[in-house]
Amino acid sequence: DIQLTQSPSSLSASVGDRVTFTCRASQNIDNSLNWYQKKPGRAPKLLIYGASTLQGGVPSRFSGGRSGTDFTLTITSLQPEDFATYYCQQSFSTLFTFGPGTKVEVK
Amino acid sequence: EVQLLESGGGLLQPGGSLRLSCVASGFTFSNYAMSWVRQAPGKGLEWVSTIANTGAYRYYADSVRGRFTISRDNSKNTLYLQMNSPRADDTAVYYCVKGYCINGVCYSHPDAFDIWGQGTMVTVSS
């Protein structure tokens, strides 16, 4: 099975900060990596698919990147509504898997 | 408006059975693979199962294979998850999810999960 690890598990930041977190796949998954935002009591929201393509309606302050089996999600200027948990997910294999998540908290 | 509405959650005892349902609207249900994803209390997201648009292919997480069955009725725009022999660690919010494919319609292997229902809570406890 393909394993995904995310780092850090949590981070504290302020409004306006630039934040970047990482998702590492246990093997090559090409660009088959997606990012979701999850807030308590709300359904997850697809932010980025194919490693770097922004889903429609998602603000341009979100961006995704890839270097080999390492993937990044960057928020260029953190907004109050961005405090949430972010999950990566691979679709390379039909045994779809999610990473453990990175929680973005208020500093 | 694209919408997914889950139902059927509740309290069940270990070893019992339960069927979750998800009614879809706002898109051509029969053109898309559908999935179930869950989140246990205080835990992360866990993919559970995916079914192709015709039902011809079904994929399961190791944790539920042999106990859960995913199915669909395209005439009713409805997705199901039959949960048999549930365990305490199956306690979670279960989300119905629409598959998204970069090239358009999404028959069997979604590239991502783009539309999520609000979830239905399942509690397994004696």
pLDDT for B103 equals 87
How confident is the model at residue A78, as a pLDDT?
97
Q: Which of B113, B115, B118 to mutate to test the interface with A (most CBs of A within 10 A)?
A: B113
**B107 part of contact set with chain A, CB < 8 Å:** no
B112 in contact with A, Cβ within 8 Å: yes
Q: What are the C-alpha distances in Å from A54 to residues A16, B54, B80, B99?
A: 20, 29, 30, 16
| Cα A19 to chain centroid, rounded | 11
What tokens appear for B71 in the block? 């199915």
- Please tell me the predicted confidence (pLDDT) of residue B114: 97
Per-residue model confidence (pLDDT) at position B15:
86
| CA–CA dist B43, A30 (Å, integer) | 27
- Quick: pLDDT tens for A52-96: 999 999 999 999 999 999 999 999 999 999 999 999 999 999 999
Q: Which residues contact B41 (CB under 8 A, 6 or more apart)?
A: B91, B92
pLDDT of the residue at B104? 83
Chain A positions touching B63 (Cβ under 8 A) are: none
In tens, the pLDDT along A12-35 reads: 999 999 999 999 999 999 999 999
- Using an 8 Å CB-CB cutoff, list chain A residues near B111: 32, 34, 49-50, 91
- When pLDDT is cut at 50, 70 and 90, the band that residue A43 belongs to is very high
d(CA A101, CA B3): 26
Residue B35 Ramachandran class (φ > 0 left, ψ -120 to 50 alpha, else beta): beta
Burial class of residue B30, CB neighbours in 10 A (0-12, 13-18, 19+): middle
* B47–A96 C-beta distance less than 8 A: yes
Q: Which residue has the tokens 């042999």?
A: B66
Nearest residue on chain B to A43, judged by CA atoms? B118
pLDDT at B105: 81
The CA distance from B44 to the nearest CA of chain A, in Å, is 6
Secondary structure of residue A81 in the 3-state scheme: helix
Gap between the terminal Cα atoms of chain A: 36
Candidates A17, A33, A7; CA nearest to A88 is: A33
Residue A56 pLDDT = 95
* Token duo for residue A46: 């697809």
Q: What is the pLDDT of residue B80?
A: 98
Per-residue pLDDT of chain B (126 residues; tens, 9 = 90+): 999 999 999 999 998 999 999 999 999 999 999 999 999 999 999 999 999 999 999 999 999 999 999 999 999 999 999 999 999 999 999 999 999 999 888 898 999 999 999 999 999 999
Q: How far is A104 from chain B (nearest CA, A)?
A: 14
